[in-house]
Structure 1
Amino acid sequence: MNILITAGGTSEKIDNVRSITNHSTGRLGKTIAETFLAQGHLVTYVTTPQAVRPAKQPELNILEIETTKELETTLLEQFAQTAFDSIIHSMAVSDFTTETTLSEETFIDQLSEKIGTLGDLNDTRQLKEHIQISLDEMGETVQDQKKIPSKTDRLLLFLKKNPKIIAMLREKQPQAILVGFKLLVGVSEAELIQVGRSILAKNQCDFILANDLETIQGEQHKGILINALGQTQTAQTKAEIAQLIVNKVEEKWRNQ
């Protein structure tokens, strides 16, 4: 099979020296890739600079990205070239990207100037509209500083929502066996499964690996694999999760 795997965590630049990111190490994605490679499959591995990755080998093609936008562009380029047999989307993708930054002083000045044009500050609806317009205009401010000065006591960071990468995978690769991942923190197993089933249905996945951050420590990693019928299987380590995913993907591919 020809497999595409995403792993690691995207980061979004604030300026040339700062960024926001998540704590994903890519270790589970690495283990999944190594398990597919051990079974003789071809793997295209999309990952991030700080994440761990499999050792180089002829059957492995590693592509490096940083931002969610770069991930989207890279995936679309790959999809234009290849119809993958399976996509394992384990990357922790940033929900938001940076839009602009403002010092506390600039923010107050701009907001005050906008509100100052109002005649009646007691008109709550009109006040909300002006604040919303002001925020939209501030968000469109071009961030052209290579390094944001640190002289302000408070820095306001504007974030805007990123597109959901998983939402486009079925449309762009309808033939692929799609495995998505959902991470929650401190929830019951029943809630974890319920949310996983919802994500699976919404994004037309074949499988979802639902896991809770509080059950992950080193190689110990409890994961619940949910199929399109809502049935579940549980693994307790990264190696077990990887083998379970490989087995299920291979089985579904053989039966197509």
Structure 2
Amino acid sequence: MNILITAGGTSEKIDNVRSITNHSTGRLGKAIAETFLAQGHQVTYLTTPQAVHPAMESNLTLIEIETTKELESALLTQFKQQTFDGIIHSMAVSDFTTETTLSEDIFIEKLADKLATESDLSDLTNLTEALYRSLDEIGQTIQQAKKIPSGTDRLLLFLKKNPKIIAMLREQQPQAVLVGFKLLVGVSTEELIRVGRSILAKNDCDFILANDLEDIHGDQHKGILLDAKGQTETAQTKNEIAQLIVNKVEEKWRNQ
């Protein structure tokens, strides 16, 4: 099988020396990749410089990205070049990316300047609409500084929503066995399964690995694998999850 795996966590740049990221280590993705490789499959592995990587071997192609935009571009390039039998999208993708950054003084100056051109701000509806327009315009301010000065007491960071990478996978590779991941924090098993099923249906996945951050401690990693038929299977470690996913993807691929 020809397998694509995403792993690790994307970072979104604030300036040339600062970024926003998440705590994903890529250890689960690494375990999944190593299990597929051990079974003789070809693996294309998209990950980040900070994440752990599987050891290089002849059946492994490793591609590093940092931002969600870079991930999207790398995926589209791969989809043009080859067809995948399975896609394991375990990467923790940033929901938001940076739009611009302003000091408190500059933000207030720009907002006051925008509102000064508005009329009848005594009406709450007009004021609300004017604020929305002003924030939208300010958010589009081009970030000039390569390193934002640290002299301001407050730094206002504008974030805009990233595209959902998982939403495009089925469209781009309709033949692939698709495995998505959903991480929640401190919820009941019932809620974890409910949300996982919702994500599975919304993105037309074959499987979703639903897990709770509070159930992840080193190699101990409880995960619930849901399939499109409503069945669930539970694993207790990263290696068990990896083997479960590989077995299910292989089985689904053979039966297509």
Compute the TM-score of the two structures, normalised by the length of structure 1.
0.99
**Residue aligning to 2:209:** 209
| Counterpart amino acid of residue 33 in structure 1 | A
Consecutive aligned runs of 4 or more in structure 1 exceeding 4 Å deviation: none
Distance in 2 (CA, whole Å) between partners of 1:144 and 1:86 is 42
Distance in 2 (CA, whole Å) between partners of 1:230 and 1:162 is 29
Deviation, structure 1 residue 230: 1.3
| Counterpart amino acid of residue 167 in structure 1 | A
**Residue aligning to 1:72:** 72
Distance in 2 (CA, whole Å) between partners of 1:33 and 1:170 is 20
Note the residue ranges of structure 2 that are not aligned, 5 or more in a row: none
**Residue aligning to 1:178:** 178
**Residue aligning to 1:48:** 48
**Residue aligning to 1:161:** 161
Q: Between the two proteins, what is the percent identity of the paired residues?
A: 78
Deviation, structure 1 residue 117: 2.8
| Counterpart amino acid of residue 232 in structure 1 | T
The answer as to 2:92 corresponding to 1:92 is yes
- Please give the per-residue CA displacement for 1:206-240, whole angstroms capped at 9, x wherever unaligned: 00000000000000000000000111000000000
**Residue aligning to 1:12:** 12
Distance in 1 (CA, whole Å) between partners of 2:107 and 2:253 is 55
| Mean Cα deviation higher: 132-141 or 167-176 | 132-141
| Mean Cα deviation higher: 35-44 or 104-113 | 104-113
| Mean Cα deviation higher: 221-230 or 119-128 | 119-128
Deviation, structure 1 residue 144: 1.5
The answer as to 2:152 corresponding to 1:152 is yes
Distance in 2 (CA, whole Å) between partners of 1:228 and 1:47 is 27
**Residue aligning to 2:142:** 142
Deviation, structure 1 residue 109: 1.1
Distance in 2 (CA, whole Å) between partners of 1:133 and 1:183 is 34
Distance in 1 (CA, whole Å) between partners of 2:51 and 2:2 is 22
Distance in 2 (CA, whole Å) between partners of 1:243 and 1:154 is 48
| Mean Cα deviation higher: 110-119 or 217-226 | 110-119
Distance in 1 (CA, whole Å) between partners of 2:114 and 2:129 is 11
| Counterpart amino acid of residue 63 in structure 2 | L
| Counterpart amino acid of residue 115 in structure 1 | L
**CA-based RMSD:** 0.7
Q: Match of 1:69, SS? A: helix
The answer as to 2:248 corresponding to 1:253 is no
Deviation, structure 1 residue 118: 3.3
